[in-house]
Amino acid sequence: MTETKAFLKASLEAGKDYLRAHAPHPPANALEKPVPLMVPIRSLGANHRERIATHLLALVERDRYLRFGYLANDEQIQRYVDSLNFERDEIFGIYNRKLELLAMAHLAYAPDKNCESCAEFGVSVNKSARGRGYGARLFDRAAMHARNDGVDLMFIHALSENTAMLKIARNAGATVERDGSESEAYLRLTPPTFDTRMTEMLEEQLAQADYRIKVQAKHFRDFLASAQRVRCGAAGARPDQPA
């Protein structure tokens, strides 16, 4: 058991070292802003549907309004999750060590063949995980994927009051057009290069590895907790122990 624990710790540390080494270069004003640890963002498949639902259903009313453009109720959110097309679209997620989905992004491709080179971006981050750059990182990841997929234009539909979302889009170079209470941002993407393809592949592999370590570590923690419960139960059942 000690060996497994040591192995997990070593794997985790090795992963962290690697991510630190590959973190983005510090900005010019590095003294003002801490350099964030590179966040493992993985592509999600249909087997993550339940966790996606849990994440979205936890959004408070205002966030649901900002995310969907209307005040989506639980049923509407569930319908949205059930209808996610993992073959056509790309869903990205950021997990914590408890395997809770902290943030997710949906890059939706138009079903219409005439709009093949366009995609729409939507994102949400748990309240407790905001301000860490996850929204911006998901945007960059989705833009890189769209670019590698031959997409020319990435759209973001946001309410004009959504300062954070519009800031993410503007920071990434998108043009924002305001139309009253609603805004449309679009980011023109340049054709992919060998570098963008390799970067995406490497980032996805790292994120998958990070996820596998988190799964292993969670199983191990669950195992330790249940062993502890059994031990406590056995101690409580001993006749020489006080009730």
Ligand X SMILES: CC(C)(COP(=O)(O)OP(=O)(O)OC[C@H]1O[C@@H](n2cnc3c(N)ncnc32)[C@H](O)[C@@H]1OP(=O)(O)O)[C@@H](O)C(=O)NCCC(=O)NCCS
Binder among 104, 122, 145, 214 for ligand X (CB under 6 A): 122
Which residue number, 134 or 210, has a Cβ lying nearer to ligand X? 134
Tell me, by CB under 6 A, how many residues bind ligand X. 22
Q: Does 192 bind ligand X (CB under 6 A)?
A: no
d(CA 168, CA 162): 10
Q: Does 187 bind ligand X (CB under 6 A)?
A: no
Q: Residue 203 Cβ, how far from ligand X at the closest point, in Å?
A: 17
Distance in angstroms between the alpha carbons of the first and the last residue of the chain: 31
The values of phi and psi at residue 123, to 5°, are: -150, 155
Question: Which residue stretch of 70-78, 88-96, 155-163, 217-225 sits at the interface with ligand X (rule: CB under 6 A)?
Answer: 155-163
Q: Residue 43 Cβ, how far from ligand X at the closest point, in Å?
A: 18
Q: Does 63 bind ligand X (CB under 6 A)?
A: yes
Q: Which residues of 162-195 are buried (b: 16+ CB within 10 A; e: fewer)?
A: beebbebbeebebebeeeeeebebbbebeebeee
Q: Does 158 bind ligand X (CB under 6 A)?
A: yes
Q: Tell which residue, 217, 197, 78, has the closest CA to residue 148.
A: 197
- Per the CB < 8 A criterion, the answer to whether 75 and 195 are in contact is no
- Per the CB < 8 A criterion, the answer to whether 125 and 135 are in contact is yes
At position 158, the amino acid (one-letter code) is A
Q: Residue 34 Cβ, how far from ligand X at the closest point, in Å?
A: 12
Question: Which residue stretch of 77-85, 163-171, 201-209, 225-233 sits at the interface with ligand X (rule: CB under 6 A)?
Answer: 163-171
Residue 183 forms beta bridges with which residues?
158, 178
Which residue number, 133 or 192, has a Cβ lying nearer to ligand X? 133
Burial class (CB in 10 A: 0-12, 13-18, 19+), 101: buried
Name the closest residue to ligand X (Cβ). Answer: 135
- Per the CB < 8 A criterion, the answer to whether 54 and 81 are in contact is no
Which residue number, 68 or 220, has a Cβ lying nearer to ligand X? 68
Q: Does 207 bind ligand X (CB under 6 A)?
A: no
- Per the CB < 8 A criterion, the answer to whether 139 and 165 are in contact is no
Q: Residue 227 Cβ, how far from ligand X at the closest point, in Å?
A: 37
Binder among 72, 102, 107, 165 for ligand X (CB under 6 A): 165
**x/- binding map, residues 66-105, to ligand X, per CB under 6 A?**
xx--------------------------------------
Q: Which residues bind ligand X (CB under 6 A)?
A: 63, 66-67, 122-125, 130-136, 158, 162-165, 167-168, 171
